[in-house]
Structure 1
Amino acid sequence: MGKLVAETMEIGLIITAIVVIVFDVTMWCYTSTIRGYQFTTFVGARIGDILGMFVLYSMPVIVLTIIATAYLAIKQQYPSDLRASWFRRFCRLLWTRPLVVNEFLGVLNGFDLLVILSTIFVVLWMVLNELLPQLRSLHGNPMAGLLKWKPIGVVLGRVAVLPISLLLIPVSRSSPILRAIDIPFEQAVKYHIWLGHLTMAMLLGHVSIFIGIFAYKHHMVKLVTWPPTGVSYLAGLIAFVAGSLMWITALPLIRRRFFNAFYYTHQLYILFFAFLVYHVGVTTAGYYIGGVFLYLLDRFFRVHQSRKKMLISSAKILSNDVVELKIPKLPSMEHSALSFIFINIPSISPLEWHPFSVASSPLDETAITLYVKPFGITSWTQHLHTLVTRSTKKNGSGCPFAQKFSMEGPYGHESNFFLRYKTLLLVAGGIGITPFLAMISDILHRYEAAHTYLPQHVHFTWIVPTSADLHILQQLAPTSIFPQLQSSNLTIVVDVYVTRDNAIRPEFEPSLSVARNSADVEPSLVETMSIRHNLHMACLILGTVLISITLFAILQHHALKRQKNGFGEKIPSWIQASLFFCSLAIGIGGMGGFLITCWSKTFRYKRNSSASVVSNETEFQLQENVLYQPHQFPGCDDLELGARTLCHQSYTTLRKGRPILSEVLDAVLERYTNENVGVLASGPESLQRDVANMCRNHSSNNYATAQILNYHSVSFRL
């Protein structure tokens, strides 16, 4: 009965979300028409201009967020069957069928094209509806050549509000909207990039036209004026300069060579949005403040989450210089197998945060494992490698590994979508193996727990430069997780292609490792609040929104509407904007801080209650597993566990050169016919494009067949 009610509520929430989306799109299209302008004026006259714009344009985004949070809470309580209905299978095709593959756009699926085309349609609709009537009114005017430019500049500025309203939603890491449709942050970043280019291109045209008009009329002094009321050109110019710096440093050529410059420059978003409000006024800010508010709340939550300093329990350097980090965690910590976390180590850099894929299963109740490949001589990852190397030398004298760090996350896919495929084809390059280790480990744990509807065939193709990279495979022993693997219906096949040296199974050197004493493990257990606490997240969003609106409404009605200055005029618009910022700060910082504090205390109480009932045997296993270090021996067998690691020849075949992906795919499809195959790629962008192109060509050539290739990218790359 509960399952039926949950499914009914899910359908109701989905229908409500569709209605809200249709209403929001309709309002954006309608606002550019004469009747739309009359309607917004009518609403503003009834409830106030500022509140009217907020309700019509920003509130739908917040309502959609609350709906998504409720949907996630139901899905968390009543997980859906992996055997999806035809409607869900059709929706998944939008996400998993590559339609466009090229170097400029990357890999685009049906959902990506839907987002691009719908955004372009609404923008063009708004531009044409606002611009054409004004241009017709200038027809026959001898000064039309000059006068035409001003309405074009005005329209570009007005329509730019649409992409601005959506700009920060894709980069809100805890966004319930993205989690509800299972688009992780690392894949949603591309929407932010596209919207950023569109926004700055329109603002560039807007600013250029007005600077040209002012220069022609010799009114350049207006650019540095800030009138008490009306439009402040100086504020707009400051916002544009801040946006331009972010835009330039975000270009791929600059971002990849000078990432720190890109990262620090992007903190100017505060100036951009603040002076944008000073430029256009609080009323116009009602068009886009919803997405900005949710992003600021996300940042506040992340700051609170990352305040706690934790300790890395152990670190190890493998033969290929990859650094393995183990972070102890509580069994109650929830994340998916394809999760990633951001970590900051103050001893390396107090400001730099770096994302790393989790290489361990969420069913591993003892620790989170990360693998870090050092790149560059002066990079953050190289500094981490140096830090661990120095610690291993000191460890001989009894010095513990006591590096403190902060963590954000875990983020990533909301669901373990790979479990719905009977056959998995995994293709990785280099350190891109990390998420696939977590996947294989998770599948093994689920087989051991006797779960149903699990993958039966895992074919893993890994491309590495040297055979020393195989040392990572030695860290996973399948039969130590699932002892009945050989007699089960699960098969794991690993093909390793070595591109530089000879494909000879190496004798690995002993790992350089350093670990904390087992008595010190308990204080460092990860105990961060999770974005998966959906009801708490809903209360946080609702509480902060209501307090911010209420506080500003009080200021608006009792201060701005009634108070007059000495000249009998309204209070200047910059004061109104400043009071608006104060309302947001108190709503997010005050009410948000109060709710998060209550949330944190509740979390600690539940953690302490659950910790008090843990048996001594479980505690002993936790400490032993956290500090476990596999030993090297011929054949890659593990003497401690008495089990073969994934590096063993019974799982892994070494090959020389690069694979021909089409032949790899044909071999898998020939062996496992009439099955939907999940194809996952992790590694360099060129590798992902090759795999996506392979899936697209197969789908195009075999459209009528029952066998479908479902492509997924699991790489994180800014």
Structure 2
Amino acid sequence: MSRNTVNGISHSELLPHDFREMILKVLKMFLGLVFAGWIFLWIIVPTSTWKYHWSPKLYSNTYSTYFGRQGTNILIYAFPILFITVVGCIYLHFRQKKHYTGSRSGILSSLIAGWKRPVLVQGPLGVVSGIEFTFGFSYNPMSTIFINIPSVSKLQWHPFTVTSSSNLEPERLSVIIKKEGSWTQKLHAVLSSPIANDHISVSVEGPYSPISMNILRYESLVMVSGGSGITPFISIIRELIYQSNIMNTSTPEILLVCVFRNSLDLTVLDLLLPICSNVSDFSNLKLRIEAYVTKEKEKPTNHEQRVIRTICFKPHPSDVPISPVLGSNSWLYLAVIISASFVAFLVLTGILQRYYIYPKDKNTFKIYSWSKRTLLHLLFMSFCIVVAATIPFFINKRSNSKAGKQINNLDLPTPTVSPSSWLHNSEIEMESLPWNSLSKATNVHYGKRPDLKKILLEINQMNVGVVASGPSGLRHEVAAICSSGLADNLHYESISFSW
């Protein structure tokens, strides 16, 4: 390999990325300066300097027949924030594209992925697990979606943590739903009934991504979970698999400390690796799992493994792919909506002022009623926002309906073999599968709870990120250890999954 390449990537490929990163940083600093100037303006407005020196000059230089003094107020108080919003949307668009670097599949594979929508009905945990959709947008690890299933309840929407990675699985969105509570019990019954095997309607809102946690900045990452609290960490591990194996990015060492009640719950660790993925090996990821089973003293001798049952639904004419309301370029659409609505508002306001109010008032602001003027401005503002937002919404809806028709027109046989059944096929060489590496990385402890203080304080790396998910007592214990001052290398990342 020549010196002009790094990990198979030439300098000619790295320079555009570095240049774009520099542009984004400069843009972010510029927006910060604009906002600081706007704050400074509010500070100086009450002073005599503004009242007797700056304000008269500014109003005289910006006075116009179309807007009068109102134009100056818009320029001073409204325009900076709208400018920050529009440019910020453009910044977020390119920032999002920078993070989403996974390869896109062809049209045929995309259609096939949209045709099959399997729902894992009965896993070893009694979990209703995994929903597959087709969509064209990315999201961060630990994202949340709201799900409504009319056949279970027409009014109830429930939040669930997304376990898939938009980079590793660009055409799949997965969640794990534990069969616990009346709603999930009904859902399990609906999916288990023969009637539901043909079609089930699911409405999705989201995903809502949390504040992006830069996990790559740590040398080591410790994730502590209790029970179903492991679900947010599945998306993190899958994202790190993508970063380490596909992007060849240096990733932190991962220590997953998970606590379960029964040994049957250990099978949730199989979901750390996606079943349908291009990744056949994750040896580049330094992963160690310490699992604790509290209710059992030793490993069960006659433990019968329960095979996951998979149901694949056929497409329905009403099915549409999941996508953002404004499409995959939602930030650019939002910037256009804000800009267009503001410009349209200025045009309508200028016409109103010049040809209706000015002939009567002459910009004295004494004849024409302020209440009527304000009411007209509010009506114009609402009208411009509605029109500017409706047009791109229907454009995106039309494109989604075309994609849905393409998916529904695909006539393929219904699969009869669950992908999960591959794991139980004795003819497969398990040494060639990543699940063998996962089992080697897992150490199971029976009949005890983890000594979190000992585990955390024994980590020698200088920069360690710690994340906890599960019961409040577990999270408080981890946070107390990290903030006790006994170790300076522990950095607790506070995350919340409660709604």
**TM-score by structure 2 length?**
0.74
Decide which of 176, 198, 204 is 1:407's aligned counterpart: 204
Compute the displacement of 1:66 (Å): 2.1
Confirm or deny that 1:9 pairs with 2:29: no
On the 8 A contact 2:142/2:162 being kept in 1, the answer is yes
Q: Which structure exhibits the higher relative contact order, with contacts defined as CA atoms closer than 8 Å and separated by 6 or more residues?
A: 2
Matches within 5 A, 1:504-653: 504=299, 507-511=304-308, 513-517=310-314, 523-528=319-324, 529-530=326-327, 533-556=330-353, 558-559=355-356, 570-571=368-369, 573=371, 575-600=372-397, 628-630=419-421, 644=435, 648=439, 650-653=441-444
Partner of 1:658: 449
Residues 542, 496 of structure 1: alpha-carbon distance in 2 compared, 3 angstrom cutoff? same
334-343 or 587-596, which deviates more: 334-343
Select which of 464, 467, 470 maps to 1:680. Answer: 467
Q: By how many angstroms is 1:495 displaced? A: 1.8
Give the Cα separation in 1 of the matches to 2:405 and 2:308.
Answer: 38
CA distance in structure 1 between the aligned counterparts of 2:171 and 2:100, rounded to whole angstroms: 27
AA aligned opposite 1:656: G
- Partner deviation per Cα, 1:492-537 (whole Å, 9 max, x = no partner): 22222344555646645455654314x6699554344446543333
Aligned partners of 1:344 and 1:354 also within 8 Å? yes
Whole-angstrom distance in 1 between the partners of 2:318 and 2:437? 30
Alignment of 1:173-184 (within 5 A): none
Higher helix fraction (1 or 2): 1
Structure 1 residue 30 displacement after superposition = 2.7
**Unpaired runs of at least 5, structure 1:** 82-309, 377-381
What is the percentage of aligned positions where both structures have the same residue? 22
CA contact (8 A) 1:422 1:677 kept: yes
Q: Report whether the alignment pairs 1:394 with 2:194.
A: yes
1:13 is displaced (CA, Å) by 1.0
- The Cα offsets for residues 630-662 of structure 1, whole Å up to 9 and x where unpaired, read as 488699x999x9663798475241343433322
Tell me the residue number matched to 2:222: 425
Give the equivalent residue in structure 1 for 2:290.
Answer: 495
The match for 2:183 is 383
Check if 1:360 corresponds to 2:164: yes
Question: 1:557 deviation in Å?
Answer: 5.1
Number of residue pairs matched by the alignment:
454
Q: Which residue of 1 aligns with 2:490?
A: 709
Shift of 1:432: 2.2
Q: Please report the RMSD computed on the Cα atoms of aligned residues, expressed in angstroms.
A: 4.4
Is the 8 Å Cα contact of residues 327 and 526 (structure 1) preserved in structure 2? no
Gap runs ≥5 in structure 2: 1-14, 102-114
Partner of 1:470: 266
Aligned 8 A contact 1:421 1:454 in 2 = no
Distance 1:421 1:527, change over 3 A: same
Amino acid at match of 2:206: G
Alignment-mate amino acid for residue 654 of structure 1: H
Map residues 89-168 of structure 1 onto 2, 5 A cutoff.
none
Report Cα offsets for 1:332-382 as digits up to 9, x if no partner: 432233332233334445454433221112221442110123555xxxxx3
Counterparts in 2 of 1:603 and 1:10: CA distance versus 1, 3 Å = farther
Deviations 1:555-599 (A, max 9, x none): 4555556569xxx963462x4444333223212211211133345
Q: What's the CA shift string for 1:655-682, capped at 9, x where partnerless?
A: 4343332211123x13xx34x3232222
Structure 1 length-normalised TM: 0.53
How far off is 1:21 after superposition? 1.8
1:54/1:717 CA distance change after superposition, 3 Å: farther
Question: Do 2:291 and 2:442's aligned partners in 1 also have CA atoms closer than 8 Å?
Answer: no
Check the 8 A contact 2:179/2:188 in 1, yes or no: no
Q: Structure 1 569/666 Cα, relative in aligned 2: closer, same or farther at 3 Å?
A: same
Q: Which residue of 2 aligns with 1:30?
A: 44
Q: Distance in 2 between matches of 1:559 and 1:28?
A: 32
Per the alignment, residue 82 of structure 2 pairs with 62
Q: Which segment is superposed worse, 583-592 or 552-561?
A: 552-561
**1:460 equivalenced with 2:460 (yes/no):** no
Structure 1 residues 3 and 648, CA, compared in 2 at 3 Å: closer, same or farther? Answer: closer
